[in-house]
Amino acid sequence: MSEAVVTLKKGEGRSLKSGGLWVYDNEIDTIMGTFQNGDIVIVHDFDGYMMGRGFINQNSRLRVRMMTRDKEQQIDEAFLRRRVQAAWDYRKDTVDTASCRVVFGEADFLPGIVIDKYEDVLVVESLALGMDRFKETIVKLLQEILLADGIRIRGVYERSDAKERDKEGLPRVKGFIGEAFDTDLEIVENGVHYLVDVANGQKTGFFLDQKYNRLAMQRICKGKRVLDCFTHMGTFALNAGIAGAREVTGLDISEYAIEQARRNAKLNHLEDTVHFRCANVLDELPKLTAEGEQYDVVILDPPAFTKSREATKNAVKGYREINMKGMKLVKDGGYLATCSCSHFMTQELFAKTVKEAAKATHKRLRQVEFRTQAPDHPILWAADESYYLKFYIFQVVGER
């Protein structure tokens, strides 16, 4: 069957031409030929120049996700094997692969699919209709590729339950791909042991993207009094504890997360040093300030305050407020780690917002370092959506 042809309007496709993988509905002039949503189509520029192949979905404003720029390349199993092998080879070169993100969607040229490896378990998140058709083949290929390196995967779990699926006209699904297994796992990262619930935890069960940012905090937290805000499963708090922090407090609004964090503290024999409390961070920080509390290190790792460009203005207010509250709790000469995991909160905008928070609280910031997401979440230049995590470490000093 011949492929349908999508032709762009004149002057459109600027992101695509600069290396991106997305074609939006308002960039398309015509679609010629028959197809079903999820099919591979050919994409032409306005003048008929062939730009490659991708899968189409008319349910989504993100109408075509490109799979290849090679005019001759067919999207078959051999093609998928090369893509998956390249993704795994890159991880072996750049990160500790015991637990890591093996496939990161567009940044690995496999748009719409994420696969995390937790020791000997894979967790799959499919967010696009076209990729949904390939996901089981990709999983099979990844298992074969890992086995060739002596890694036998004992189970695969699907966490395609994000609301992004709604935009694709897809139902939200979760469950086993293949045989059932115990979805409570133990992983080790930076010397810290964690119990991870891949069936019920956030996203795919654990936030692997902060791995090396947590490691960077170990050096700073030794012997210190530490406050970890939005602690989730206790990740930054436990890295502080294992590094030899004198006292650590972790705060999170979720009772489930706090229970998980306490389990993880016991697992690492840190329950006497690292403590967790269920609290709304935005309400709790002013209370701590009123009580005269001061910390050597304050860590702010909030959830994304915006997931759309339209909500960015309100997000700026939220980030400014949380950073003001956090800075007030850092003793003179202490340290603040602060981050944003929203793609729409750009590095420039986030830096400006933190600077405004410092000015409002009469603090001066000395930058220790700036970091982004771990290399297993690669940032593909020209695919702006792949760059989302901004992480600063500052020394906080009073106005002198």
- Same domain flag for 172 and 249: no
Residues with active-site annotation: 341
Q: Which of 116, 278, 272 is nearest to 202 (CA)?
A: 116
- Same domain flag for 213 and 360: yes
* Number of domains, the chain: 3
Question: Is 318 domain-assigned?
Answer: yes
Between 312-327 and 347-360, two packed helices, what is the crossing angle to 10 degrees? Answer: 40
- Same domain flag for 55 and 84: no
CA geometry: angle 196, 202, 208, nearest 5 deg: 65
Length of the chain: 400
CATH of the domain at 284: 3.40.50.150
| Cβ(77)–Cβ(356) below 8 Å | no
pTM summary value: 0.94
Question: Is 191 domain-assigned?
Answer: no
Question: Is 192 domain-assigned?
Answer: no
Last residue of a domain, one of 68, 89, 111: 68
Q: How many CB atoms lie within 10 A of CB 216?
A: 18
- Same domain flag for 152 and 273: no
Specify the range with the lowest mean pLDDT, choosing from 203-207, 255-259, 317-321: 203-207
Tell me, what's the pLDDT at 2?
73
pLDDT category of residue 344 using cuts at 50, 70 and 90: confident
> 204-235, pLDDT tens digit by residue?
889 999 999 999 999 999 999 999 999 999 99
Q: Are strands 247-252 and 225-229 parallel, antiparallel or unpaired?
A: parallel
Tell me the residue type at 73.
Answer: Q
Asked whether the predicted pLDDT for residue 339 surpasses 80, the reply is yes
Question: Is 299 domain-assigned?
Answer: yes
> 19-49, pLDDT tens digit by residue?
899 999 999 999 999 999 999 999 999 999 9
Question: Is 369 domain-assigned?
Answer: yes
- Same domain flag for 358 and 335: yes
- Same domain flag for 112 and 214: no
Last residue of a domain, one of 117, 149, 183: 183
- Same domain flag for 85 and 43: no
pLDDT category of residue 303 using cuts at 50, 70 and 90: confident
- Same domain flag for 293 and 343: yes
Specify the range with the lowest mean pLDDT, choosing from 29-43, 268-282, 309-323, 381-395: 309-323
Question: Is 195 domain-assigned?
Answer: no
| Cβ(159)–Cβ(122) below 8 Å | no
Q: How many CB atoms lie within 10 A of CB 293?
A: 15
CA distances from 55 to 6, 16, 132, 168, 330 (A): 11, 14, 11, 12, 50
Average pLDDT of the residues in 114-137: 96
69: Cβ–Cβ under 8 A, 6 or more apart, which residues? 51, 52
Last residue of a domain, one of 149, 183, 217: 183
CATH of the domain at 114: 3.30.750.80
Q: Are strands 121-126 and 113-118 parallel, antiparallel or unpaired?
A: antiparallel
CATH of the domain at 61: 2.30.130.10
| Cβ(267)–Cβ(193) below 8 Å | yes
- Same domain flag for 257 and 113: no
Domain containing residue 28:
5-68
Question: Is 54 domain-assigned?
Answer: yes
- Same domain flag for 347 and 242: yes
Question: Is 189 domain-assigned?
Answer: no
Phi-psi region of 286 (alpha: psi -120 to 50; beta: other; left: phi over 0): alpha
Spatial separation of the C-alpha atoms in residues 148 and 304, rounded to whole Å: 38
- Same domain flag for 390 and 290: yes
CA distances from 83 to 79, 98, 130, 155, 197 (A): 6, 21, 16, 22, 28
- Same domain flag for 120 and 42: no
